[in-house]
Structure formats: structure tokens, C-alpha cells
């Protein structure tokens, strides 16, 4: 058992940020499901306990458990729910991570979840259809849809290979996904579909702001940095400044990736690597990722690693 845990720790430490987020979601899912099985065997209802992790629509209850605006983003109860969410997170999250890095991925994940929770809360407390009812929100869908939509706005014509469907542009993937959520309002899980649209709105805002050179995740990341520094230094107040971050856009490749992103551990790209990356990305744009040879895929991974945080 100790060896298994040590292996998990090593794998987690070596994993990319999207995979780490998947680890956390899966770990929480397994813990909840195991607890549910034990409670079922002893004829104990676990749902009241799970409600302490879900985001409530009732304002008075939310004030008593404010942490749920974070915990709900990692909480899943149904197998298919977490399976599809984690597949989306791996595919689109990895793409986002390779372009924008760790800090902005984590920032958008949480901001998308916050956006989904707030529109869910507003809907339950303002719309007549929810009058007299109460709901609980759980799942990473709003966070993940924020990432999907952000990628669609930032790289709308980038094609992704889909099983049975071939190569589809990111913009159509996002549009179809959001449309399905919209027309599903009024069926089962109405509040959940509304929350998904809230996450998508945050993703669209991220993409639009990015085009103007604004990082909407900077405020959140600076806030987290300040809180962490408070604990590390043992101070009662921090000196961190909360502000939106602007940067100057330098020359871009044909894929449109940012060259200057103020990331830690940034490795300088050589002109040869830049030229090779541009050539591979141009081929992807024209023929899709599947058209790359094994060697080209390896080179794309190796070269793009010099840009990651």
C-alpha cells in the first residue's frame, strides 16, 4: 500500500497541470464513492454529508459553508459525469496549458467555476421557475467549459480530430456544446445547464481579453500568491498588489501563440526552433494534427515544452 501511494505521489509530481487537476478530481470521486458504499452497507444516508461539499442555491446556507464555491468544482458522484469531464479536461486542458501555461490554466479553471456558481445562484434566487425550490451544484463542468470556450475564442480555426466525425474546428465544438446546454434548460438538471453557460461566458471573456493583451486570471493568481506568502512569512497582512496584468504582444507564430507571457522558468527559443515550430503549426492548421508524422509530433512536444511554465 505504501508503495502504491509513493508511486501516486511521484506520478502526481511529474504530471502536467491538467493531469494534476484530473488526479484531484478522481481522488475526490473515489473517496466519495467509497464513503457512499460504506454508508450504504451500514444503512447510513451519506447525502447530508455530501451537501457540505456541494454549492447550495440558498444564500443563508452558502454563508454557513462558503468553501463550497471551491469544493463543488472537484466533486462528482456519477461515473459518466466525471468520465466525460476528465476527457474534456485532458484534451482541451492540455492544449490550453501548452499555449498559456500553468498559472492561467488554474486561474481560468477556478474563475470558470466561480462564474458557473454565481449564475446558478442568481438563477435560483431571481427566476420565477425556481421559486420555493432549492438546489445543490456539483461537478467541474463549468470550469472545463470555460477552458473549452477560451480555446475556441483564442484559436477558433484550430482543428481537433473527433472520433467518427473527423477534424472539427474548435469554434464549432464550443458552439455545439453550448447550444446543447442551452436547449437542455428546462429538462433535467436545469440549474446545472445554466451554470455551464456561466462557465462558458467566463471562457469567452478570457479569450476576448487575451486578444486585447489582458489576463483576467492575473487578479486571482496575485490574490492566491499573496495568501500563500502570508502563510509562509507569518505576517498579518501582505504586500501583494491585485491588478489586471497587461503585456506587450511581441511577434507571433502562425498559430498565434504568445511569445512574451512573463512566465517563470521561461526557456529562450532559438530561431531554428521558432522556424520549425511555425512549419509544424502551419501543417496542423492546413491538414489537422493527425497529418503529423511521429517525428513531427515529438518535435512539436519538445519545442513547445520550452514555452511552458
Half-sphere exposure of 221 (CA within 13 A, CB side): 16
Size (the chain), residues: 309
What are the pLDDT digits (tens) for 200-253?
999 999 999 999 999 999 999 999 988 888 888 765 554 445 454 444 443 333
Q: What is the reported pLDDT for 285?
A: 65
Once rounded to an integer, what is the mean pLDDT over residues 242-271?
Answer: 43
Q: Which residue has the cell 500553468?
A: 102
Q: How far apart are CA 37 and CA 33, in angstroms?
A: 6
Whether the predicted pLDDT of 256 surpasses 70: no
What are the pLDDT digits (tens) for 33-70?
999 999 999 999 998 999 999 999 999 999 999 999 99
Highest CATH level, class, for 2-212: mainly alpha
What are the pLDDT digits (tens) for 104-139?
999 999 999 999 999 999 999 999 999 989 999 999
Q: How far apart are CA 227 and CA 244, in angstroms?
A: 17
pLDDT grade, residue 263 (50/70/90)?
A: very low
pLDDT grade, residue 303 (50/70/90)?
A: low
Residue from 94, 201, 56 nearest 143 by CA: 201
Q: What is the reported pLDDT for 182?
A: 94
Which set of grid coordinates corresponds to residue 154? 483564442
Whether the predicted pLDDT of 2 surpasses 90: no
Q: Are 25 and 82 in contact (CB under 8 A)?
A: yes
Indicate where the chain has its CATH 1.20.1540.10 domain(s): 2-212
Average pLDDT, the chain: 84
pLDDT grade, residue 146 (50/70/90)?
A: very high
Percentage above 70 pLDDT, the chain? 81
Q: What is the reported pLDDT for 30?
A: 96
Task: Tell me the three-class secondary structure of 159-194, residue by residue.
Answer: EEEECCCEEEEHHHHHHHHHHHHHHCCCCCCHHHHH
CB contact burial 270-282 (16+ within 10 A = b; e otherwise):
eeebeebbeebbe
Task: Tell me the three-class secondary structure of the chain, residue by residue.
Answer: CHHHHHHHHHHHHHCCHHHHHHHHHHHHHHHHHHHHHHHHHCCCCCHHHHCCCCEECCHHHHHHCCCHHHHHHHCCCCHHHHHHHHHHHHHHHHHHHHHHCHHHHHHHHHHHHHHHHHHHHHHHHHCHHHCCCCCEECCCHHHHHHHHHHHHHHCCCCEEEECCCEEEEHHHHHHHHHHHHHHCCCCCCHHHHHHHHHHHHHHHHHHHHHHCCEECCHHHHHHHHHHHHHHHHCCCCCCCCCCCEECCCCCCCCCCCCCCCCCCCCCCCCHHHHHHHHHHHHHHHHHCHHHCCHHHHHHHHHHHHCCCC
What are the pLDDT digits (tens) for 167-176?
899 999 999 9
Amino acid at each position: 500500500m505504501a508503495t502504491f501511494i509513493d508511486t501516486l505521489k511521484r506520478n502526481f509530481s511529474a504530471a502536467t497541470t491538467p493531469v494534476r487537476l484530473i488526479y484531484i478530481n478522481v481522488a475526490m470521486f473515489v473517496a466519495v464513492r467509497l464513503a457512499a458504499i460504506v454508508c450504504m452497507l451500514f444503512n447510513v444516508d451519506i447525502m447530508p454529508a455530501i451537501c457540505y461539499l456541494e454549492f447550495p442555491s440558498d444564500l443563508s446556507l452558502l454563508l454557513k459553508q462558503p468553501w463550497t464555491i471551491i469544493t463543488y468544482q472537484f466533486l462528482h458522484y456519477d461515473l459518466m459525469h466525471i468520465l466525460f469531464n476528465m476527457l474534456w479536461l485532458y484534451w482541451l486542458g492540455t492544449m490550453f496549458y501548452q499555449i498559456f501555461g500553468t498559472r492561467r490554466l488554474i486561474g481560468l479553471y477556478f474563475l470558470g467555476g466561480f462564474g458557473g456558481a454565481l449564475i446558478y445562484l442568481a438563477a435560483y434566487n431571481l427566476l420565477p421557475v425556481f421559486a420555493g425550490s432549492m438546489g445543490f451544484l456539483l461537478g467541474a463542468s463549468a470550469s472545463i467549459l470555460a477552458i473549452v470556450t477560451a480555446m475556441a475564442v483564442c484559436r477558433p480555426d484550430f482543428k481537433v480530430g473527433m472520433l467518427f466525425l473527423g477534424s472539427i474546428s474548435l469554434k464549432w465544438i464550443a458552439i455545439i456544446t453550448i447550444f446543447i446546454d442551452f436547449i437542455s434548460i428546462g429538462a433535467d438538471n436545469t440549474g446545472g445547464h445554466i451554470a455551464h453557460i456561466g462557465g462558458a461566458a467566463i471562457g469567452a471573456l478570457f479569450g476576448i481579453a487575451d486578444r486585447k493583451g489582458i489576463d483576467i486570471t492575473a487578479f486571482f493568481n496575485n490574490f492566491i500568491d499573496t495568501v500563500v506568502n502570508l502563510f509562509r512569512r507569518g505576517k498579518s497582512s501582505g504586500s501583494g498588489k491585485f491588478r489586471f496584468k497587461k503585456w506587450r504582444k511581441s511577434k507571433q507564430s502562425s498559430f498565434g501563440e504568445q511569445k512574451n507571457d512573463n512566465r517563470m522558468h521561461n526557456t529562450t527559443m532559438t530561431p531554428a526552433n521558432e522556424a520549425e515550430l511555425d512549419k509544424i503549426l502551419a501543417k496542423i492548421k492546413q491538414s489537422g494534427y493527425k497529418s503529423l508524422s511521429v517525428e513531427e509530433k515529438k518535435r512539436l512536444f519538445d519545442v513547445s515544452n520550452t514555452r511552458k511554465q
